[in-house]
Amino acid sequence: MFKVPDYQVAGHQAGGGKLGPLVDDSGHFYKPLQSDERGSQELAFYTAFSTDTRIPDHIRKFFPVFHGTKLLEASDGSGLSPHLALEDIVSSRINPCILDAKIGARTWYPQAAEDYLQRCLKKDRETASLELGFRISGLQVHGNKETGVWKPDRTVIQRGSVDETKLTLRKFVSSNPSTDSDIKPDCCFASTVYGGCNGILAELLVLKSWFEDQTIYHFYSCSVMMVYDKESLQQGKKQGAQIKLVDFAHVIDGKGVIDHNFLGGLCSLIRMISEIVTDPST
């Protein structure tokens, strides 16, 4: 009944005796609660957020629906353990294309312990985060028959330069994604996935408006996940491209200040995607 999702692009992955998330047939995604404070912080966030009346509906839809916790046999064979039961964003799609972008130049919060801070700072400097305000944590793209599924190495993608990251964002909406630098991405889905009034860019701009104003939560080390599938696009289904925020183990109280770290990174991502929508042929 429970199985390892076959579309995960970032985060801890189950399989091979490792602990990771599970899915079932009813559209739920079960994320194991990390045993340290990350687990309790993520649970506390979902619990508080799901009943927070200050969150307007047009923003709430960017967050996975929370269905409480559930004791499940952990994927690593360690026995029953608590999992967050969340909306499964991906499994209803055929051949989903997924991109996970961790937002913010800084993944640590001001009150973080010194060793955690230094570890995060090191990674933010080694990856694209510091320079770009975000880093692509992972992605998979279903290309055409020749290219198949393109799922590049995560550590390479995270360290991408400005130009490499721009290129990856182009490949994400192309039918010919490839690591081969001779193949120019055709960006043939740019106008339908990124552009348009229901496209990813429009959704990111709605999210941005909220972040310019909200002082409730600060989202450290949180990702924007972008999902689409060509089948839905081609059939003109209602379920087009969409974004969801994921990973809330490092959300802290905003204390009356906007989340300038997340907002800055989000604006940087928006700027790059705008560039692709405006000129997909470059």
Smallest gap, in angstroms, from Cβ of residue 208 to a copy of itself?
A: 9
Smallest gap, in angstroms, from Cβ of residue 148 to a copy of itself?
A: 31
Smallest gap, in angstroms, from Cβ of residue 106 to a copy of itself?
A: 7
Decide whether 145 or 255 has the Cβ nearer to a copy of itself: 255
> Which region, judged by CB under 8 A, interacts with a copy of itself, from 56-64, 72-80, 226-234, 264-272?
264-272
Decide whether 221 or 261 has the Cβ nearer to a copy of itself: 261
Check residue 83 for interaction with a copy of itself (CB under 8 A). Answer: no
Check residue 115 for interaction with a copy of itself (CB under 8 A). Answer: no
Decide whether 196 or 264 has the Cβ nearer to a copy of itself: 264
Kindly tell me which residue out of 163, 182, 197, 236 binds a copy of itself, with binding defined by CB under 8 A.
163
Task: Please count the other Cβ atoms lying within 10 Å of the Cβ belonging to residue 41.
Answer: 16
Kindly tell me which residue out of 125, 148, 155, 235 binds a copy of itself, with binding defined by CB under 8 A.
125
d(CA 134, CA 168): 13
Decide whether 242 or 261 has the Cβ nearer to a copy of itself: 261
Decide whether 18 or 125 has the Cβ nearer to a copy of itself: 125
> Which region, judged by CB under 8 A, interacts with a copy of itself, from 39-47, 52-60, 160-168, 175-183?
160-168
Check residue 255 for interaction with a copy of itself (CB under 8 A). Answer: yes
Decide whether 162 or 206 has the Cβ nearer to a copy of itself: 162
Counting Cβ atoms within 10 Å, is residue 36 exposed (0-12), middle (13-18) or buried (19+)? exposed
Over the window 127 to 146, marking each residue x when it contacts a copy of itself by CB under 8 A and - when it does not, the resulting string is ---xxxx-------------
Find how far residue 67's CA is from the centre of its chain: 20
Check residue 215 for interaction with a copy of itself (CB under 8 A). Answer: yes
Applying CB under 8 A, which residues contact a copy of itself?
A: 105-106, 110, 125, 130-133, 162-163, 166, 212-213, 215, 255-258, 260-261, 263-265, 267-268, 270-271
